[in-house]
Amino acid sequence: MKQNLTVLGSTGSIGVNTLDVVARHPDRFEVFALSAASRVDLMLEQCRQFSPQFAVMAQPQAAQELSDKLAQAGLATRVLASADALERIASDERVQVVMAAIVGAAGLPACLAAARAGKRLLLANKEALVVGGEVFLRAVREGGARLLPIDSEHSAIFQSLPEDPATWADRVEKIILTASGGPFRARDPATLSEVKPEQACKHPNWVMGRKISVDSATMMNKALEVIEARYLFGMTPEQIEVVIHPQSIIHSLVQYRDTSVVAQLGTPDMRVPIAYGLSWPERVASGAQALDFRALPTMTFEAPDARRFPGLQLAWEVLAGPTGSTAVLNAANEVAVQAFLDGRIRFDQIHQVNRATLDAWSAPQVDELAGLLAIDEQARERALALVRKMGPG
């Protein structure tokens, strides 16, 4: 029996790769709904190929343009533009699987809706856990949802852990997240102020969107992954380690109590974790190239340089802080990265904005979505004020 799939963020790199895997298995999956922000022409082509019942565009002008083009093409896909459209297509009773690939905190409400509706939730939006934390996990438990990680690192950990989560605490010593080190792994930290957006977006191993590419260049992406791993796998922050592995062949590792280490290896292709999430506990063809061990480069490992990647340590700092600290870091970073991409601050000032926003924040504990979203908004306002004051001087 086919499974109905909603893809949140279908025109981004994760969404495009998801649909590539889906197209290889027409007997297993049917696309129910797609969503995007503004890329009308690509969404139109996706609607033409997969015939979803619904499409959601975040920008009203884009929604109208898509609706007009669908009508001209004679396609039956209905465009939704209401404020709750994303939540509707994520929680619809006809949907079994939701791919959550919207970048940033904007994807959190839809992720929560899918969790509360008991969906198989394929989580590529790490901010759902970074911002939502225990609030999000509670929705997963209460809704009876199945949460499966899609980030290559977290998928690798999930594949390397024992099948029964009840045994993790007794068997696992620590989890080790690998990082490529991005485009500036060997660059003199004193020159990072000179980095331009096009340089930061040129990842050596992965083809990704601009925001996540910048996060990889600062290693803030890894900081967010540390936070995500803490919530996904129930480990203490002290049980999470990061090691730089420039070749991106080993995607992450689990060290057990007896010191043995289990790792997941593969080509740097997001279709592998996507295919695993879609088919779990089975495995289906992903379209990725298989590893040729006879042709692999020498694999190397190194510790992250705190001078080059000062933002990485913020992960453990916010995890030790009150609920909401992780949301503050995420919000500040989203603002700072966008400001860098817009040419309003320098590359090295991204960390300065994040650090200063955290230092200025103090708030009570929160345990519901409204409180977290309020913290998110307040942190963004503070970060924006810092950006305006700072400038690319």
Question: Which two structure tokens, joined as six digits, stand for 95?
Answer: 């949907």
Could you give the CA distance from residue 366 to residue 67 in angstroms, rounded to a whole number?
A: 40
Given its phi and psi angles, is residue 211 left (phi above 0), alpha (psi -120 to 50 degrees) or beta? alpha
Any idea what the Cα angle at residue 215 is, between residues 345 and 84, rounded to 5°? Answer: 95
Given its phi and psi angles, is residue 227 left (phi above 0), alpha (psi -120 to 50 degrees) or beta? alpha
For the segment 362-384, what is each residue's pLDDT rounded down to a tens digit?
866 677 888 888 899 999 999 99
Question: Which two structure tokens, joined as six digits, stand for 53?
Answer: 């019942």
The structural domains of the chain, ordered by start, are 3-150 (3.40.50.720), 156-267+293-390 (1.10.1740.10)
Our measurement of the distance from residue 186's CA atom to the centroid of its chain's CA atoms, rounded to an integer in Å, reads: 25
Q: Any residues with CB less than 8 A from the CB of 389 and at least 6 apart, and which?
A: none
pTM equals 0.91
Decide if 217 contacts 184 (C-beta within 8 A). Answer: yes
Q: In the chain, which stretches have pLDDT less than 50? A: none
Our measurement of the distance from residue 306's CA atom to the centroid of its chain's CA atoms, rounded to an integer in Å, reads: 23
User: What is the phi/psi pair of residue 199, to 5°?
Assistant: -75, -40
Q: Any residues with CB less than 8 A from the CB of 390 and at least 6 apart, and which?
A: 345, 349, 352, 353
Sign of CA dihedral 207, 213, 218, 221: negative
Could you give the CA distance from residue 254 to residue 264 in angstroms, rounded to a whole number?
A: 9
pLDDT at 387: 97
